[in-house]
Structure 1
Amino acid sequence: MIPEIEKADQQTIKAFQEEKLRQLISYLQEKSPYYRRLFKSHKIVAEDIQTLEDLVKIAPTTKEELQKYNADFLCVSKTDIVDYVTTSGTLGDPVTVALTDADLERLAYNESISFACAGITKEDVLQLTTTMDRRFIAGLAYFLGARKLGAGIIRVGAGIPELQWDTILKFKPSYLIVVPSFLLKLVSYAEEHGIDYKKSGIKGAVCIGESLRNQDFSLNILGNKIKEKWDIDLFSTYASTEMSTAFTECSEMQGGHQHPELIIVEVLDDNNQAVPDGTEGELTITTLGVEAMPLLRFKTGDIVVAHNEPCACGRNTVRIGPLVGRKKQMVKYKGTTLYPPAMDNLLNDFTEVESHVIEIYHNDIGTDEIGIKIASNNQSDELQNEIRDHFRSKLRVAPKIEYCSTSEIQKLRSSMLGRKPVTVIDRRG
C-alpha cells in the first residue's frame, strides 16, 4: 500500500506539492488571522507563491509565535472543531491544536500509510502502550490509523508490564507501539516471571519518543540492547502534534519517509536558508490538507538530516534521519556543541544506570554546564569515573555526575501532564 505520489519521480512530486501549496496560500489568505497579518506586513499576495522556491519569500513561523498567537492560527468556526489536543510543553507552554472531522480523517490516513510503510497490514493486531487521554494526539492517531488500515488494535496504555504481558499472551498481537526502552522492561519482566517472550508472536515494534539509530542508520546502543535480547523488527517513527504527520521507517530502515500529499519539508540553517543535502538543520514544515490550524513554514525546533536519494522500498520521498536534537536544548559546552540524545545514548551503555536526568544550567560566569543525576544500586566512585571517561572519549566532555534515589529521579522525570517522561531539564531560563 504505497500511495502513487510517493513512487512518482521528483519532478512529479514537486509539481503535485506546488499545486497543493497554491491552494493552501489562498486558504490562509481567506481564513487565517495570523497569516493574513503576516502576508500584509510582508506585502505578500497569493499570486506571489507559485513554486516551492517561492517559500523563501515568507518568514518562517516559530514555536514562540504559535504559543503567543495560538488562537489566531484557527481557520474555522469553533462549532466545526471536534477535538482539541495540546503539545507536551517540553520546550515551553503547551500549544493547543484544534481538529475538525476532516483533520481527524487526515490523521487516520497519515497513520494508516505510516503503519503500511513499516509493513503492517490489516491482518495484524497492534498493542498500543501509549496513552489515548490527557489531550495526547499520538495515541489517538495510532488508534485511528489502525482502524483506517483495517488492523486490530488493543488500547492497553502506558506502563504496567504485568498488564502488557497479560494482553500479549491473551490476544496475540503481532506489533507493539511502544517507547523502545520500555521493551527492555518487558523483557526483564518476562525473564523474571518465566514468560517465553521470544515465542510470544510479536513480530515488531513501532518505536516512539526515543532514538534507535545512529546518523548512519546503524542501531545505537539502545537499539542493539533490545535486538540482543529480543530479535524483533524495530521501526522508528517521528512526528509532532503541530504537524499531525508522521515520518515512519520502511523495511529498509533508512529514515522516516515523508508523505508529500500531507507535508512540505525544508531543512534550514539559523538564517532560514536551506542547508546542503546531508547537513544538519532545523526541520521546517508546511502542512497540506489541514483544515482547522494549517501551518506555513513552521520551524519545529528539531535538528535533523534529510536524505533525498530514492529508497530501495520503491518510494522517492524525502527521508528524515534520526533526530539529532532539539535546537533549544543545544548545549555549548567548553567549545563542543552537544545535544541531549547523544548523552542519553551513552548512558544506555551502562546497565548499572537504572534511570537518569540530564540537567543543563548556567554556571557563575554564564557558560553552559551539564549535570547528570543517576539512580543506581552501584553508587561507587568507579562507576562514576567510568561514565565520565566514556563521555570524554565519545563526546569530548566530562559532565558532573550525582547519585540520587530512584524516587527522586522519577519525580524529576514526571512532567506535569504525565504524558512524556522528561530526560532533560533545561534550567538556563
Structure 2
Amino acid sequence: MEFHPFIEKSSTQEIKTIQEEKLQKLLAYLEGNSPFYQRLFTENNINIAEIRTLEDLQKIPTTSKNDLQQHNHDFFCISPDKIVDYSTTSGTLGDPVTFGLSDGDLERLAYNEAISFACAGIQKGDVVQMITTIDKRFMAGLAYFLGLRKMGASVVRMGPGIPELQWDSIFRYKPKYLITVPSFLLKMIDYAEKHGLDYKNSSVYGAVCIGESIKNQDFTDNILSQKIKEKWNIKLFSTYASTEMSTAFTECEFQIGGHHHPELIITEILDDDGNVVKESESGELTITTLGVEAIPLLRFKTGDIVKAHYEPCQCGRNTMRLGPVIGRKQQMIKYKGTTLYPPAMNDILNDFNNILCYQIVIQSNEIGLDEIIIKVSTEQENENFVNEVRDHFRAKLRVSPKIEVIDFDILSKTVFNPNSRKPITFIDLR
C-alpha cells in the first residue's frame, strides 16, 4: 500500500474537487444518521443539496466542544453493536467526551497515522519505540500502534515514564524513532548523564513529538527543542492532532509545519465572527472530518488558534501546512492590557535549567481581572532566582506575574498527575 497518497501532490484545484465530492457524501450521511446534525439542518432550514462547494460550508453553523459535551450521544451515527473501541478526549478543557470508533474508523485511523509517519520519514522495517500510553481510553496511543503496524514498522510498546526502562529498551531493540512528549526527552538525557550511558551514540535518529510544541511561529526551534538538541543531536518532528479530528498534521523532513491530509479532513481557519481569515492571519481551526462512520463532525471548532501556510513545500506536497498552535481560544489571558496564551509562558519557563517543574495558574481577582500565578520548583531557592524569572517575563512578554516557589515533592504531584496523559502545566480557575 502506498503511504504517500497521490492527492497530496495533486494541484490545489484537484484537491478541492475531491474534497467537495467527499463533503457531499458526508452531508448525506449526516442527514441520514446523525440525530444532532438532523436537528441542526432542520432548525437552520439547511438544504444539503445547496452545499456544493467548500465555500458553501459558510452557510452551516459551526459545532463547538460544548455541543459535544452536552449532546454526546446524539453525535453517534452507528448503533452500539458496531462500535469496536471507546476512546475519550483528554479533557484539557472541561469534561472528556466519549468517542466510539467502528471497524472502518480504526482502519481510517491506521491509514492516517501511516501516511503521517511516512511524512516524517518512518519506513517499513524501522523500529519505533512508543513512549506513550496505549490504554486509559487514549485514542492516540492506539492510533500510533495501528499506523506503524499498517506501514510495516516494528513497535516497542514501552508506555510513558521510567527513563531507566526506556534506555534498557533502546539499547536492546535499537529503535530508530521514538514517539514521545518532548519534555520527557530531557528527563531521559538527565538520567543517561547521571548513569554514564552513551546516549549520544544510540540507535535513535529522531523523535515524533506529541502534546507539546517544539517550534516557534517561524518554524525555528523553540527553547524546549533547543535544550534537547544541545545535548542530543536527534531530529524532532512536530505533530498536531486531536481525538475529535481522528487525523494528524505531521511535519515532513523540511519541517515547516504539519501537512494537511485533504482526503481525511476539511479545514477552515475562522476569526471571532466566524469568517475565514486572510491567508497570513491566525484564527481558530475549524474542521470537517471525512470518512468517519461513528462520530463524523461538520464545521467543528477545535478551540486551537493556528496559522496556515500555503506556499509550496520542497517535499512536493501541495497541501496546506499548519504552524505551531499559538494557544487555545478558551485559555486566552488578558493581563494588564496584554493578550497572552500559555505556550508563550511555557517557552519562558523552559528557558531555565534549574526549574524542576512548574505550573501556571490563572484566576480572577476580586475586581474580575485575570491574575497569573507561576508556581515553580527549583534547585536554587533565593530572591535572585525569583527576580530573574520575573525579569525574563517582563522582557519577553511585558508582564510581571506573581511567582511562588513550591517544594518539588508537592508541586510534582499536581503537575504529573497519574490520571492525566500530559503534564498539567496550566490550570484555569476563572
TM-score, length of structure 1 as denominator length: 0.99
Task: Give the Å deviation of 1:123.
Answer: 2.4
Which residue in 2 is equivalent to 1:112?
Answer: 114
Which residue of 33, 36, 39 maps to 2:38? 36
Query: Partners of 2:125 and 2:9 in 1: how far apart?
Result: 24
Question: Equivalents in 1 of 2:420, 2:308: separation in Å?
Answer: 31
Q: Does 1:357 align with 2:359?
A: yes
Change (3 A) 1:248 1:231: same
Q: Deviations over 1:328-362 (max 9, x none)?
A: 11000011110001100111111111100000000
User: 1:20-419 residue pairs with structure 2 within 5 A?
Assistant: 20-415=22-417, 417-419=419-421
| DSSP-derived class of the 2:184 partner | helix
The alignment covers a number of residue pairs equal to 428
Distance 2:354 2:418 in 1: 28
- SS in structure 2 of the partner of residue 354 of structure 1: strand
AA aligned opposite 2:308? A
Q: Distance in 1 between matches of 2:194 and 2:415?
A: 26
Q: Give identity over the alignment, percent.
A: 63
Counterpart secondary structure, 1:123:
coil
d(CA) in 2 for partners of 1:417, 1:84: 17
C-alpha distance 415-272 of structure 1, shift in aligned 2 (>3 A): farther
Which string of whole-angstrom CA distances, capped at 9 and with x for unpartnered residues, describes residues 272-312 of structure 1? Answer: 11111121100000000000000000000011001112211
RMSD: 0.8
Instruction: Write the deviation string for residues 155-190 of structure 1: whole angstroms up to 9, x where unpaired.
Output: 000000000000000000100001111111111111
Kept after mapping to 2: 8 A contact 1:88/1:417:
no
Matching residue's letter, 2:365: N
Letter of the 1:25 counterpart: L
Q: Hey, what's the Cα distance between the residues in 1 that align with 2:261 and 2:105?
A: 16
Deviation at 1:411, TM superposition (A): 2.3
User: 2 CA distance for matches of 1:220 and 1:99?
Assistant: 35
Paired AA for residue 63 in structure 1: K
Judge conservation of contact 2:361–2:428 (CA < 8 Å) in 1: yes
1:413 and 1:347 map into 2 onto residues whose CA distance is: 14
| TM-aligned CA deviation for residue 2 of structure 1 | 1.7
Counterpart Cα distance in 1 of 2:149 and 2:9: 24
Structure 1 residue 46, shift from structure 2 partner: 1.7
Q: Distance in 2 between matches of 1:272 and 1:319?
A: 21
Q: Distance in 1 between matches of 2:384 and 2:209?
A: 33
Cα displacement string for residues 167-220 of structure 1 (whole angstroms, at most 9, x for unaligned residues) = 000000100001111111111111111111111110000001111000000001
Query: Does the 8 Å CA contact 1:257/1:317 hold for their aligned counterparts?
Result: yes
| Displacement of 1:415 | 4.6
One-letter amino acid matched to 2:292: V
* d(CA) in 2 for partners of 1:329, 1:415: 20
Q: Distance in 2 between matches of 1:251 and 1:196?
A: 26
How many Å separate the matches in 2 of 1:245 and 1:348?
29
- Following TM superposition, by how much is the alpha carbon of 1:21 offset from its aligned partner in structure 2, in angstroms? 0.3
CA distance in 2, matches of 1:362, 1:46: 44
Q: Contact conserved, 2:357 with 2:415, CA < 8 A, in 1? A: no
Deviation per CA, 1:12-50, whole angstroms, max 9, x where unpaired?
000000000000000000000000000000101220110
| C-alpha distance in 2 between matches for 1:57 and 1:415 | 43
In the aligned structure 2, how far is the partner of 1:260 from the partner of 1:98?
A: 23
Question: In the alignment, residue 134 of structure 1 is paired with which amino acid?
Answer: K
Specify the code of the residue in structure 2 equivalent to 1:424. Answer: F
The 3-state SS of whatever aligns with 2:101 is strand
Q: Once superposed, which parts of structure 1, at least 4 consecutive aligned residues long, lie more than 4 Å away?
A: none
User: Helix, strand or coil: the match of 2:86?
Assistant: strand
Q: Does the CA contact (< 8 Å) of 2:110 and 2:146 recur in 1?
A: yes
Q: CA deviation at 1:377?
A: 1.6
Secondary structure at the counterpart of residue 25 of structure 1 = helix
How far the C-alpha of 1:418 sits from its partner, in A, is 2.7
TM-score (ref. length: structure 2): 0.98
- What is the CA distance between 1:416 and its match in structure 2? 7.0
AA partner of residue 231 (structure 1): N
